[in-house]
Amino acid sequence: MPERGASGPSSIECRQIADLLGDYLEGTLPKPTRELLEWHIEGCGPCVAFLNTYRGTINAAAKLKEVEIPSELKQRLLTVLRSQRASHQPGA
């Protein structure tokens, strides 16, 4: 019974981690994707470091949330976060 097929830690790449991390921290990822992501990160030092950096940014954003920033500003912040995330990806 072939349980190991195309899916596994190797089926998800660091680039995809960077791409999914925002949704992951927001808790909006579907469970299988989340597990795959966690699985990858467990065995990938660079992704752990990236996750920590990303979390730091999110925490800063969460603090801003406490003082109730306007949704327009929040959108801008998200846009900045997204562009930062994009710049982490090598090449095109």
Half-sphere exposure (Cβ direction) of 10: Cα atoms closer than 13 Å: 3
Q: Is residue 44 a contact point for Zn ion (CB under 5 A)?
A: yes
* Count of other CB atoms within 10 angstroms of residue 33: 15
Q: Which part of the chain contacts Zn ion (CB under 5 A), choosing from 27-35, 42-50, 71-79, 80-88?
A: 42-50
For residues 59 and 57, give the distance between their C-alpha atoms in angstroms, rounded to a whole number: 5
Q: How far is the CB of 7 from Zn ion (least distance, A)?
A: 16
* Count of other CB atoms within 10 angstroms of residue 74: 14
Q: Which of 37, 47, 51, 54 binds Zn ion (CB under 5 A)?
A: 47
Binding to Zn ion in span 4-33, by CB under 5 A: 14
Residues that bind Zn ion (CB under 5 A): 14, 44, 47
